[in-house]
């Protein structure tokens, strides 16, 4: 019944400041917005850059995402997710929108081929706070439990917004195989993450 | 298969749905099933959404190709954003600020008042006469002329005076109403600031514990969270997605002790968007609390739960 994601004091502190900032942002406080940007823009840039590859577009989407935060911070629901979780899902969805609008799809695949994957477990560049680093390590460790095929399918869905059918075409694999890789991969991740403290 | 009955097949589609990877008939079937309402799938989907959020957090690191340029990009975008914010058509309303209705009914006050009557016209000729030494003997005549002018001006003005007085009365009533509204708002703001202070003291307490409540039954799309300040035995509760209730009903928050005995932690209403917040400042037996729940009760609440459960966790 205890909320697994909020067991440590470190998590609480971060979430608290974020919730406070979101409240101030919906009241039109630009200083709070600037602070929220400083705290989370590296993560947003990291995520959108992994989805989009190209620098110019990542920059534009970063700006779009935070403009949306400024305009729609009152849509954030404290009971549903943490402010950071809300922000990152907003970022992923804007980045995927941009990806789908691209004309030259082929060029993207070439550019992003090396980047569109979950990073290796190395010293973090974008996330500075200890609690973020610890959490990411947990998730990246959990991702390492997946088979390379399961991981690739989840990455194609997550970073490129591809559906079952599109992933099967891309990997030249049977549709049923792709479906079960995603199902098993997500379940395995769940098990690994649910045992977290 | 009907779209409303829960089945393992739907449960198997949920991970791909949460990732956005579902398409074709499967997507159509699952969407129809979810639209018909399935508490089991809803709650599984919430867990999966958290998992996808975790994936986003894991990916939130610039690829190596961009890492070196990241600080420059971040600074540049921040500068552009901060320059743009003041120009954005956004007027956030802060509790305690005047409502649009009050703003609309407040024309610039000086323009609304009538110009000051006679003296403005009358004193100037009088002063001119007094300062002109050679004209001293004409003073009584001049004064009489001025008085006559004033009288004529008064007659002309009198016609408009009745409406002017009515206008002033209306104005005064309006000002009194605005003063009363401002007082009410100040009292509300004070209560709100006390409530916020309590909330912050609970949320910021060391070792605060968070409990997630999941939607139940007809409120399956709702979610809640209780933060318990163990040291001070207080809690603050948030909910979203709760359906609005009729005027004779209210939501009531309960905690269950280790004997599963429910105790009321207060009643609350939801706002137009289904959100609610409640500070529980009665001393809580925190060691013995095993669960939290929200039920729908008759207005004013009940000593023991009688209605359907809306949230539990």
pLDDT digits (tens, 9 = 90+) for A128-142: 556 667 777 888 888
B88–chain A Cβ distance below 8 A for any pair: yes
Q: Which run of H or of E encompasses B267?
A: strand B262-268
A140–chain B Cβ distance below 8 A for any pair: yes
pLDDT digits (tens, 9 = 90+) for B54-87: 888 888 877 777 888 889 999 999 999 999 988 8
Q: What is the pLDDT of residue A172?
A: 94
pLDDT digits (tens, 9 = 90+) for B105-159: 333 333 333 344 444 444 444 444 445 455 556 666 777 777 777 776 666 666 5
Establish if B106 belongs to a structural domain. Answer: no
Secondary structure tally for chain A: helices H, strands E: 9, 0
Q: Which pTM value belongs to this model? A: 0.56
Size of interface A-B (CB pairs under 8 A): 227
Q: In the Cβ-directed half-sphere of B236, how many Cα atoms lie within 13 Å? A: 17
Q: Where are the domains of chain A?
A: 4-108
Region B288-301 average pLDDT? 91
How many structural domains are present in chain B? 3
Q: Would the pLDDT of B189 be above 70? A: yes
* Same-domain check for residues B223 and B307: yes
A19 band by pLDDT with thresholds 50, 70 and 90: confident
Q: Above pLDDT 70, what percent of chain A?
A: 78
Q: Which domain holds residue B143?
A: 111-200
For residue A163, the chain B residues in CB contact (below 8 A) are: 20-23
To test the contact with chain A by mutation, choose from B29, B55, B206 the residue with the greatest count of A C-beta atoms within 10 A, namely B55
Residue B224 contacts residue B212 (beta carbons within 8 Å): yes
Q: What is the pLDDT of residue A17?
A: 81
CA distance A17 to A23: 10
B48–chain A Cβ distance below 8 A for any pair: yes
Establish if B256 belongs to a structural domain. Answer: yes
Nearest to A79 among B15, B85, B239 (CB): B239
Establish if B89 belongs to a structural domain. Answer: no
B192 band by pLDDT with thresholds 50, 70 and 90: confident
B98 band by pLDDT with thresholds 50, 70 and 90: very low
Q: Above pLDDT 90, what percent of chain B?
A: 20
Q: What are phi and psi of B280, to 5 degrees?
A: -100, 100
The shortest C-alpha distance from A96 to chain B (Å) reads 11
Establish if B144 belongs to a structural domain. Answer: yes
A136–chain B Cβ distance below 8 A for any pair: yes
Region A20-37 average pLDDT? 90
* Same-domain check for residues B162 and B78: no
What three-state secondary structure class fits B190? helix
* Same-domain check for residues B193 and B214: no
The shortest C-alpha distance from B303 to chain A (Å) reads 25
Q: What is the pLDDT of residue B63?
A: 78
Q: What mean pLDDT value characterizes chain A?
A: 81
Secondary structure tally for chain B: helices H, strands E: 9, 8
Q: What is the pLDDT of residue B133?
A: 53
Nearest to B60 among A46, A74, A187 (CB): A46
* Same-domain check for residues B214 and B308: yes
**Four-way CATH pick for A4-108: 1.10.1740.10, 3.40.50.150, 1.10.340.70, 2.60.40.420:** 1.10.1740.10
CA angle in degrees (0–180, nearest 5) for B215-A81-A184: 80
Region A161-184 average pLDDT? 94
Establish if B265 belongs to a structural domain. Answer: yes
Domain boundary (B180, B200, B220) is at: B200
* Same-domain check for residues B62 and B79: yes
- For residues A40 and B62, the model is more confident at A40
* Same-domain check for residues B178 and B268: no
Indicate yes or no: CB of B60 within 8 angstroms of CB of A126: yes
* Same-domain check for residues B282 and B244: yes
Region B228-243 average pLDDT? 88
Region B273-291 average pLDDT? 87
Q: What mean pLDDT value characterizes chain B?
A: 78
Q: Would the pLDDT of B295 be above 90? A: yes
Q: Would the pLDDT of A7 be above 50? A: no
Establish if B66 belongs to a structural domain. Answer: yes
Region A29-38 average pLDDT? 92
Residue B229 contacts residue B205 (beta carbons within 8 Å): yes
For residue B225, the chain A residues in CB contact (below 8 A) are: 3, 78-79
* Same-domain check for residues B190 and B242: no
* Same-domain check for residues B61 and B126: no
CA distance B10 to B89: 44
Sheet holding B309-312, edge to edge: B262-268, B249-256, B291-298, B309-312, B209-215, B223-229, B234-240, B276-280
B59–chain A Cβ distance below 8 A for any pair: yes
Q: Would the pLDDT of A37 be above 70? A: yes
Domain boundary (B200, B225, B253) is at: B200
The shortest C-alpha distance from B106 to chain A (Å) reads 23
CA distance B243 to B222: 8
Region A88-112 average pLDDT? 75
């Amino acid at each position: 019944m205890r909320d697994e994601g909020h067991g440590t004091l470190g998590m609480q502190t971060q979430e608290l400041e974020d919730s406070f900032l979101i409240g101030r942002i919906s009241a039109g406080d630009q200083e709070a917005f600037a602070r929220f940007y400083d705290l989370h823009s590296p993560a947003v840039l990291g995520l959108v850059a992994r989805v989009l590859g190209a620098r110019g577009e990542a920059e534009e989407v970063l700006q779009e995402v935070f403009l949306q935060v400024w305009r729609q911070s009152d849509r954030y629901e404290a009971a549903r997710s943490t402010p950071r979780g809300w922000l990152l899902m907003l970022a992923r969805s804007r980045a995927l929108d941009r990806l789908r609008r691209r004309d030259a799809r082929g060029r993207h695949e070439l550019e992003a081929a090396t980047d569109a994957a979950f990073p290796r477990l190395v010293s973090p560049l974008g996330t500075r706070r200890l609690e973020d680093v610890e959490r990411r390590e947990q998730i990246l460790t959990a991702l390492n439990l997946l088979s390379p095929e399961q991981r690739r399918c989840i990455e194609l869905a997550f970073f490129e917004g591809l559906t079952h059918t599109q992933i099967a075409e891309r990997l030249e694999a049977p549709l049923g195989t792709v479906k079960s890789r995603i199902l098993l991969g997500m379940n395995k991740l769940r098990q690994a993450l649910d045992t977290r403290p | 298969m009907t779209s409303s009955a829960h089945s393992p097949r739907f449960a198997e589609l949920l991970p791909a749905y949460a990732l956005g990877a579902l398409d074709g008939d499967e997507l159509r079937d699952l969407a129809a099933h979810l639209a018909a309402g399935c508490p089991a799938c809803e709650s599984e989907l919430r867990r999966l959404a958290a998992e996808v959020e975790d994936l986003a957090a894991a990916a939130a690191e610039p690829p190596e190709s961009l890492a070196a340029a990241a600080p420059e990009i971040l600074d540049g975008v921040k500068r552009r954003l901060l320059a743009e914010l003041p120009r954005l058509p956004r007027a956030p309303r802060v509790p305690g600020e005047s409502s649009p209705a009050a703003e609309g009914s407040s024309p610039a006050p000086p323009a609304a008042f009538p110009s000051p009557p006679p003296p403005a016209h009358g004193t100037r000729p009088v002063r001119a006469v007094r300062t002109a030494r050679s004209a001293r003997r004409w003073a009584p005549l001049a004064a009489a002329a001025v008085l006559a002018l004033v009288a004529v001006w008064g007659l002309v003005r009198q016609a408009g005076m009745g409406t002017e007085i009515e206008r002033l009365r209306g104005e005064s009533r309006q000002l009194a109403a605005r003063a009363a509204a401002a007082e009410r708002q100040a009292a509300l703001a004070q209560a709100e600031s006390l409530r916020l202070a309590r909330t912050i003291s609970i949320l910021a307490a060391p070792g605060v514990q968070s409990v997630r409540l999941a939607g139940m039954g007809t409120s399956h799309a709702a979610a809640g969270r209780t933060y318990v300040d163990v040291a001070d035995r207080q809690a603050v509760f948030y909910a979203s997605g709760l359906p609005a209730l009729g005027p004779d009903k209210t939501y009531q928050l309960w905690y269950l002790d280790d004997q599963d005995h429910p105790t009321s932690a207060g009643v609350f209403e939801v706002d137009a968007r289904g959100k609610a917040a409640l500070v529980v400042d009665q001393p809580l037996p925190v060691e013995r609390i095993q669960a939290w729940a929200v039920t729908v009760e008759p207005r004013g609440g009940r000593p023991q739960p009688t209605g359907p459960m809306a949230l539990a966790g």
